[in-house]
Structure 1
């Protein structure tokens, strides 16, 4: 134990104190990666947790839930049929509707006295005191603690007004949908939402001795296909599946961040061990065992990983809260629940464990060089030892690994694995790094040749580059990864947004749009009856086209359904050929997005069974098309068929065209005066911009990952260049002693950094373009959209930025080299 403490005090703690900059850089790199993982787990947990919390809060002890095929619900008459099923002790009807302005969206819950049978968060909310308050106030409602109302407030809803009879309080009441809800008697909720006789859910409480399978079968028979029968948890899981893409991409981002961190930690530790070779050789010479030295190095890594993980966890919580606020409102629409930040209990322990294991794994690989260095060889200067050269067999193995990963990438692309096809991006990055390692010799020689073109200081910098291939390769790859990731993320995002805008370009063909929701949200709520006729009577209106969108269940998959008519400008219908479009409008079948068709296992010409409130309907799949479906699959059918099947008369959008010669700005103003203030009126150009805005908001995690990778790369670059300076400290001192100027030392370090920056940026551009092209091939599987690869002008910007990053990262060590004290530099450590 005493020997262990002495080693820690004399070696580990001394190393931390002497090279505190490297220590801080390693801790910061792991802290940033840990923060990103906590943020990703927090976002994913918030998406699924918000749904599960609302579902469990409403369902309580219900064994089954009957839910509507669409957000229009189903006839309330189903309740009587279900209540008569043997084994059912309570059938609790419920209406759920989102009401209020976009900045304070509330869930309106319509309930009746049977809610008391549920052991849920609503049980205490509809007790005797609350019921008395409701009965004492005409059109009274109960407001959740987070709704922002006080007793007596009058609230205008879709088809009338309600008065807040009381404001609920308590932990359970605040947990339900974040406290953002209104509770109303079921008839009142149906009246103010214009859905008389309809409900969204019936929660079934069964007798304790009832056979679950028999009750389920009997309830399904009683429902007769008019609604969906499942457990409350299964309904929540179905809703959660719509955001699986965001969760998967977030997880991939966290994995890539840790891979990049592990790579950079490996580089840092490798350089650190190279700088500590004299100390290691001394320990070996006086009898120190290799295993003991390696264990001490691993212990250092574990401590650094633990500290970095702890520091990053707190920042990750803040990052996750910030990212949740940036997600587009379409997520809340599809989930029904208010999106809250809910951090799973395992998030922080998982991030800390990942940081420690990543640090240990990277350090263990780097520490293998201790076994390859003899005591005498370790005393040799950097660049003379065989440990500084990359063995041929290792490079051959790296080349074989690169080929294997490239083949794996091709196989994943060809397999069309859906969201899991994104794994090809990870294997491609691994193949590129392995290929670069296999080509260490040519890359380092090219870097040295580039530096030699920068004058006499560059010649000496080129010699230094040739002498330390491992260090140069590690530093150069830092720049390469930063540039490649930047081009991949920004280029892919730009391609995706541009392709989505191209897909939805037909939205801009209409002069004015009217919907209940804003232009960057999915317009699924129905517009007031008679509004289309009022708008059509506005002077200057040439044509009003009605359309309808709704989330519906297709074969157990929650999909967005479009109802179109002959003049509709919905992009999915406009993308069809004339014959298919005519068949669609005639009601001969439906058109599916590729991802939905793949999920349902159907293709063009197949029959498809669709469950509707009026029972099962059979139809024909007319085509499957490329269509952006980031949240869920998408289907399209004629407006007449949609109204008939799903019992949704009316429209959710009005597409308005001006008459010839009419001033469009004046027409917009005139329509705005006719349309109720709570509805949204916007131009066709704004509708198209809303699509791009929603996509950019949904890609917020990619932008966060870009910042993190750039930050990690900058820290690692500064660290490796500083280590390179420490390795050549004696050489620089001798140069100064024989007459070299401070300016020459400064120019030499900058020339080395410039050579590394130029070659690193060039490789980064090649790798980034390859990854961007690969993403365009995978986009159909990941997003259901044909993304067109298009390199842009930012490539030059990224290349210059990489060179600037290299030069900026080299300034601190270059200044340190210029200020080096000759006596201290040539003296022994």
Structure 2
């Protein structure tokens, strides 16, 4: 049984793939593209969360619970005594964790004491081995091998310096932040970062037999809202939330590529069935069964999907590695660990499975065209038999399903479901395909009508189109999806970038921003030295220096960004807040939250928001819910003095500088630059707005790149379909040539077919794309918690024209083949 099946596959399926390398390569290539995109997208999100997870596990070791600070200010070390005394705690291991530097030089500082040995973590043994070096070297620290230091070198940490006492070997530190790590005794780390008597983390080892849930509840009571008690995996979950928007948008674009590839595989399988019709007819006539033939074709398709998936997965891993280095700085900054490239275990199997499933489903539809007819009918052209006729029941079912999905897409888009609203976009595309299937006959007639515009050659092309309605529909759908995806997702992304940039325009009203962080990052810390504000205020030409503070904080199980401002109505960074609310914030009467925070915590204006702080749980009424661009996390705004008090974080992380009227901007800026330490960043308001806009554009660029890949796949689909048309009509074309028809006539005939399919597909794509763009704009607005203005750009027609032009390029090779076909060879077919 198995041997017979293998013989059939080898002779009739694998043999055909080898005899037609062009079609095999094209089919494999488009599936490889789809797999590459899926692997790349999954690798990007997996690298971010995987890096955090590896660092967390590498530091936590055998710990089952972790007590973490609510912000990067940590919590009082005095809590450690109470934590260690809690029944069920065998060991409480304190740590200080701090980020050093930015960009490629970004590293992590870990401060720990001798108790770290109990964890059995990746850092425990190296620190134990170098204990003598740490004790004998003044301000001695250990550094990862990847940082490039040597023993005895001086290394800047915080506002001071330390001495390299030892180098952690590659094996030990590669699992810890990619080797970009500094390990120091806890007291030294606290001293260097100016955080004496502060901790960021306490790892908990329970006594044997302890109920972990009960222990967690007891520790929660002990910390009394001053810290967060959770499993170490909480950090990984929070990192996943920071990249969720990018993951959704790129996955939707990759899904569009996979959908287009499926239509192409359908056409490729139709081509295979057409060319093998004599052999298949003979097999049916001598008693061959439908089942084995269909299974063999499905196995052949699965083989194409498998090969394409494997090749694409390797390419996708390379694409993902390149993309990791181009992630927006704000996303990288919001994640504690240094992002190291890794392909998740599930990425390659999922991508290959998706490719195989898509090819098998497409092949099943193609197989139905021949194998559901009688042996004699199998000798007739594929689309001429009764099997090619559309089922009225199927058309009505597609119409009903399409209308239902349209309703679902509209509901998903307009209901404020947050990031789930993005499902409206993919639902819209599925609805469009079903509705177009129900309208197959009008679409084919439209394509034929367009072809007839080209005179007598077009009339011949139109007749050919009308004889193959299913194949015409499938190819028109590939063009439609390519054009619609570029118009809809590209247009919606453009609207998002414009609205997000406009929402931050008020930041440009400030003359300068002074912060320890680069302008591309959120100014979340560390806090500026206390004398910086005084120095800047003393600079001639400076009229006002306004402090502010930002910090990521844990609220509930998620993360928010705290923003503390001096509550003045002229504060440029409070442009979205009502003036009456600003006055109430100034009096400390409440906070302002963004829509995503309100949605996730079920808050409305007037409700009480409870927030854990290092000084205990605090409650404040919600004064206003505002739209605010929150791609990474939600925002809670409050009075600066209130934030300093609640979170025990004196100082500020950013200063806004306004120049005096008539002052020379360049001279004042140079004077401010000279007045602050070199490591402090000084940037203009215009540079701040430009950096925010660039970060948003950078996040959208990856999805747009994928969309143009979809268009290229559609180009291959059109090439495949027209090549099939030429191969089917070789004898017919030979007869025409023998009767005196010139090559130019045949060339124009095939080009007319391409124009018919391309124009009807592009026209439908433009209409659907414009509608999906509107729904996408609404959905992205809910996901980003910002009011996005729908603006159909004049470039919409340009995008459509470019996409159509690329698709029509696929008509050139088959047209040339038809024109150059030798008369004798064409007449010899069949």
- Do they superpose with TM above 0.5? yes
| Correspondence 1:687 to 2:688 | yes
Deviation per CA, 1:175-225: give whole Å up to 9, x if none: 111110111222222222222221111222232244434543443333232
Matches of 2:170 and 2:431, distance apart in 1: 55
Matches of 1:537 and 1:142, distance apart in 2: 40
| Residues 271 and 471 in structure 1, CA contact (< 8 A), matched pair in contact too | no
> Shift of the alpha carbon at 1:572?
6.6
Matches of 2:205 and 2:7, distance apart in 1: 68
Matches of 2:64 and 2:287, distance apart in 1: 70
> Shift of the alpha carbon at 1:610?
1.3
Corresponding residue of 2:386? 386
Matches of 2:743 and 2:214, distance apart in 1: 88
> Shift of the alpha carbon at 1:275?
4.5
Matches of 2:570 and 2:463, distance apart in 1: 65
| Correspondence 1:651 to 2:652 | yes
Residues 17-166 of structure 1 aligned to structure 2 (within 5 Å): 17-127=18-128, 129-166=129-166
> Shift of the alpha carbon at 1:687?
0.5
Corresponding residue of 1:178? 178
Give the stretch that moved more between structures: 637-646 or 86-95.
86-95
Matches of 2:557 and 2:345, distance apart in 1: 30
Unpaired runs of 5+ in structure 2? none
Residues 623-772 of structure 1 aligned to structure 2 (within 5 Å): 623-772=624-773
What SS does the aligned partner of 2:678 have?
coil
What SS does the aligned partner of 2:554 have?
strand
Matches of 1:377 and 1:313, distance apart in 2: 42
Matches of 2:27 and 2:483, distance apart in 1: 21
> Shift of the alpha carbon at 1:113?
2.0
Matches of 2:548 and 2:455, distance apart in 1: 70
**CA RMSD, 1 decimal:** 2.1
| Correspondence 1:433 to 2:442 | no
What SS does the aligned partner of 1:563 have?
strand
Unpaired runs of 5+ in structure 1? none
Matches of 1:570 and 1:629, distance apart in 2: 20
Matches of 2:524 and 2:138, distance apart in 1: 30
Corresponding residue of 2:320? 320
| Correspondence 1:819 to 2:800 | no
Residues 575-586 of structure 1 aligned to structure 2 (within 5 Å): 575-586=576-587
Give the stretch that moved more between structures: 285-294 or 680-689.
285-294
Deviation per CA, 1:740-793: give whole Å up to 9, x if none: 111221121112212222222111111111111111111233221222111213
| Residues 547 and 568 in structure 1, CA contact (< 8 A), matched pair in contact too | no
> Shift of the alpha carbon at 1:141?
1.2
What SS does the aligned partner of 1:71 have?
coil
Residues 518-529 of structure 1 aligned to structure 2 (within 5 Å): 518-525=518-525, 526-529=527-530
Deviation per CA, 1:675-713: give whole Å up to 9, x if none: 221121111111011111222232344134214312322
Matches of 2:225 and 2:761, distance apart in 1: 62
Matches of 2:721 and 2:267, distance apart in 1: 8
| Residues 95 and 200 in structure 1, CA contact (< 8 A), matched pair in contact too | yes
> Shift of the alpha carbon at 1:535?
0.9
> Shift of the alpha carbon at 1:420?
1.9
Give the stretch that moved more between structures: 394-403 or 645-654.
394-403
Matches of 2:87 and 2:43, distance apart in 1: 43
Alignment CA distance shift 1:20-1:101 (3 Å): closer
Corresponding residue of 1:190? 190
Matches of 1:275 and 1:468, distance apart in 2: 15
Matches of 1:782 and 1:798, distance apart in 2: 25
Corresponding residue of 2:169? 169
Corresponding residue of 1:777? 778
> Shift of the alpha carbon at 1:352?
2.2
Matches of 2:317 and 2:428, distance apart in 1: 31
Residues 197-208 of structure 1 aligned to structure 2 (within 5 Å): 197-208=197-208
Alignment CA distance shift 1:65-1:464 (3 Å): same
What SS does the aligned partner of 2:683 have?
strand
Corresponding residue of 1:505? 505
Matches of 1:621 and 1:803, distance apart in 2: 51
Residues 601-620 of structure 1 aligned to structure 2 (within 5 Å): 601-620=602-621
What SS does the aligned partner of 2:325 have?
helix
Corresponding residue of 1:792? 793
Matches of 2:231 and 2:96, distance apart in 1: 18
Matches of 2:256 and 2:172, distance apart in 1: 39
Residues 287-686 of structure 1 aligned to structure 2 (within 5 Å): 287-381=287-381, 384-525=384-525, 526-567=527-568, 573-686=574-687
Give the stretch that moved more between structures: 769-778 or 745-754.
745-754
| Residues 505 and 571 in structure 1, CA contact (< 8 A), matched pair in contact too | no
> Shift of the alpha carbon at 1:28?
1.1
Matches of 1:736 and 1:211, distance apart in 2: 86
> Shift of the alpha carbon at 1:48?
1.5
Matches of 1:141 and 1:212, distance apart in 2: 34
> Shift of the alpha carbon at 1:462?
2.2
Matches of 2:272 and 2:50, distance apart in 1: 44
Alignment CA distance shift 1:460-1:604 (3 Å): same
Alignment CA distance shift 1:478-1:813 (3 Å): same
> Shift of the alpha carbon at 1:271?
4.3
Give the stretch that moved more between structures: 702-711 or 738-747.
702-711
Alignment CA distance shift 1:9-1:615 (3 Å): closer
| Residues 370 and 378 in structure 2, CA contact (< 8 A), matched pair in contact too | no
Corresponding residue of 2:263? 263
> Shift of the alpha carbon at 1:366?
2.4
| Residues 60 and 120 in structure 1, CA contact (< 8 A), matched pair in contact too | yes
Matches of 1:256 and 1:97, distance apart in 2: 41
Deviation per CA, 1:535-560: give whole Å up to 9, x if none: 11111111111111111122232101
What SS does the aligned partner of 1:661 have?
coil
| Residues 447 and 465 in structure 1, CA contact (< 8 A), matched pair in contact too | yes
| Residues 730 and 829 in structure 2, CA contact (< 8 A), matched pair in contact too | no
| Residues 507 and 688 in structure 1, CA contact (< 8 A), matched pair in contact too | yes
> Shift of the alpha carbon at 1:569?
7.6
> Shift of the alpha carbon at 1:722?
1.0
Deviation per CA, 1:93-146: give whole Å up to 9, x if none: 21111112433011111222222222111111211x412212232222110122
> Shift of the alpha carbon at 1:650?
0.9
> Shift of the alpha carbon at 1:342?
2.0
Matches of 2:349 and 2:779, distance apart in 1: 33
Matches of 2:611 and 2:102, distance apart in 1: 33
Matches of 2:754 and 2:523, distance apart in 1: 54
What SS does the aligned partner of 2:563 have?
strand
What SS does the aligned partner of 2:789 have?
coil
Matches of 2:635 and 2:580, distance apart in 1: 20
Alignment CA distance shift 1:689-1:800 (3 Å): same
Matches of 1:440 and 1:331, distance apart in 2: 45
- If the length of structure 1 is used for normalisation, what is the TM-score? 0.96
What SS does the aligned partner of 1:699 have?
helix
What SS does the aligned partner of 1:428 have?
helix
> Shift of the alpha carbon at 1:656?
0.9
> Shift of the alpha carbon at 1:89?
3.1
| Residues 509 and 569 in structure 1, CA contact (< 8 A), matched pair in contact too | no
- If the length of structure 2 is used for normalisation, what is the TM-score? 0.96
> Shift of the alpha carbon at 1:356?
1.8
| Residues 564 and 639 in structure 1, CA contact (< 8 A), matched pair in contact too | yes
Matches of 1:430 and 1:236, distance apart in 2: 33
| Residues 414 and 779 in structure 2, CA contact (< 8 A), matched pair in contact too | no
Give the stretch that moved more between structures: 596-605 or 244-253.
244-253
